Structure 1
Amino acid sequence: MLVGPITEESIPMSTLDRLSVVVDCFRDAPRLTLGEVARRTGIPRSSVHRMLLKLVRMNWLRREGLEYEIGDKLGDLGALSLYRNKVDRVVTPLLQQLHFVTGHAVHLGVLEGNHVRYIQKIGSLMVPDLQTRVGSRIPAQASTIGKSLLSAGNRSVASSHNANGVRQHSVAFGICNSGMGCIGARIGVLDHMPVGLSICGPLIRGTIDKRNAAPVQMAAAAISQYFGMIDGFEQEKTG
């Protein structure tokens, strides 16, 4: 979609405004050349070139040959905004309660293809060596959240029921790259995206305290109930 024609007088004067105009060009076009950005914005080519270089250095844009596209930082922020308004009001307090009960860092993540994107993190000060950040993605197989979500393809692994018929969310155990122990659990599906949570904390005799699996399951069940995620696997199959 063309923004122009824009006269020189109508172009915002501040650098921030001009950067915003340049970034907006990529709203409807995945890749653009320098010339295409200049034509769409009406900003002089030399000025556009300087701004594109700055945006690439900031990781807001990425350059591939002669073309530019949205970079990882903007991509992460955009994806994050899709989820945060759905989790902040109710889910975040539940994650904070899980952190209070276990004393461990808590993550909430969604499965995107073969990766998990973290959309919330609680208690990071308790585990300073944990190198994760909200909005970032890691391979699903390297995350207990990812392992618990990927296991949902097997109905017998995805969930079970206790003696009272209450659905229990299965857990996955693992050790993250920082050497911390992790327990992850599948929650369900939100906006067609599998969602899970995990806790990360110090190892005790080579493993994380497995007594914390119960609080993880309870938190997953509470969040699942809030979103109406009765059975994530069945929702995906029938939805």
Structure 2
Amino acid sequence: MTRTDDFPDAVIARVAGLLDEFHAGDRLTLSELSSRTGLPRSSTHRLLTQLAEHGWVSKRGKAYGLGRTPLEWGALARNHDRLHRVANPVLHDLHSATGLVVHLAVLDGSSIRYVDKVGRSDIDLPSRIGGRQPAHRTALGKALLAHSRFDTARPLSGCTPGSGAARIENLLPRTEIARIRERHIAYEREESVSGVACVAAPVGNGRTCVGALSVTGPVGSIDTVGLATPVRLAARTVWRALSQYDAQHRHGQAPQRTSA
């Protein structure tokens, strides 16, 4: 008798096996997929139907192919890896200069998703790489919301400012949005965690926002005025490094490290 806790692993293995068959980009019929994976035709059809509902596969006529979801996740993973790669040295420099915990995050719907975290704190912070927090309750989220088009219908990692302003105003007051956009800096004081304050800046050029970085620490150790300049500078350094990284990769050159 099969143990119940083995069932998810079996399902994952079957789904992975099905998706692997599309590695060459071919469109395959139900019979071909059943034959290649060794799964019963009925099981193959059931899994394909569920995968199609979530966008992992698409059906055209009698043939199946990869859907939009794996392509979107692939692009998102490449963008996040690229951002993390160029930002990490700058985060370490900012941590060394301030002694505070430094975060890097992107917008994911109405939440932020942490891409990197450098440093430790005596205060128990809820942040972890890959974790999420409500955007409007964090300085990172405020910086991202104020500089991004906001659309809860799909996850975003940052966009150009524009048509979603009314949606943003449901989360942030219009005056706060204007202030963040003008100063390119956002603050949070005990809105997500008692005793904790943050200063954040968007990573972008005013037209494009790809993420945000912040310094976080105990309320008593956060000098919001004094930290604004180094945080803004670090964000600009990441944006320059990202632009250089993209240019070097377009020309097949090895990227160089940029310090804050």
Q: Which residue of the partner structure matches residue 130 of structure 1?
A: 125
Secondary structure of the 1:135 match is coil
Aligned to 1:195: 211
Q: Is the 8 A contact 1:116 1:137 kept in 2?
A: yes
Q: Give every structure 1 segment of 4 or more consecutive aligned residues whose post-TM-superposition deviation is greater than 4 Å.
A: 14-19, 22-27, 38-41, 67-70, 77-80, 153-156, 189-193
Which residue among 90, 100, 105 is the counterpart of 2:101? 105
TM-score (norm 1): 0.56
- Cα distance, 1:94 vs structure 2: 0.5
Pairing 1:170–2:185 present: yes
**Partner deviation per Cα, 1:76-118 (whole Å, 9 max, x = no partner):** x867622343134432100111111111111111223322222
Question: Counterparts of 1:68 and 1:156 in 2: how far apart (Å)?
Answer: 39
Q: Give the alignment partner of residue 209 of structure 1, picking from 206, 217, 223.
A: 223
Aligned residues: 182
In structure 2, do the counterparts of structure 1 residues 79 and 146 end up closer, same or farther at CA, with 3 Å as the change threshold?
A: farther
**In structure 2, what is the equivalent of residue 150 of structure 1?**
145
> Higher strand share goes to which structure?
1
Q: 1:183 aligns with which of 183, 199, 209?
A: 199
Match of 1:85 in 2: 81
1:120-151 per-residue CA deviation (whole Å, 9 max, x = no partner) reads 1111x335611222223332112211111222
The residue that corresponds to 1:159 in the other structure is 182
- C-alpha distance 40-98 of structure 1, shift in aligned 2 (>3 A): farther
1: CA distance, partners of 2:35 / 2:96: 51
Change (3 A) 1:68 1:147: closer
Distance 1:101 1:86, change over 3 A: same
Residue 173 to residue 138, structure 1, CA distance change in 2 (3 Å): closer
- Residues 129-178 of structure 1: CA deviation (Å, up to 9, x unaligned): 11222223332112211111222365664135xxxxxxxx3232332533
Mapped partners of 1:178, 1:82: distance in 2 = 31
Supply the AA of the counterpart residue of 2:125. Answer: L
Answer whether contact 2:83 2:242 (CA < 8 A) is retained: no
Which structure is richer in relative contact order (CA contacts within 8 A, separation 6 or more)? 2
Superposition CA RMSD, Å? 4.5
Q: Is the 8 A contact 1:104 1:126 kept in 2?
A: yes
SS of alignment partner, residue 131 of structure 1: coil
Identity %: 30
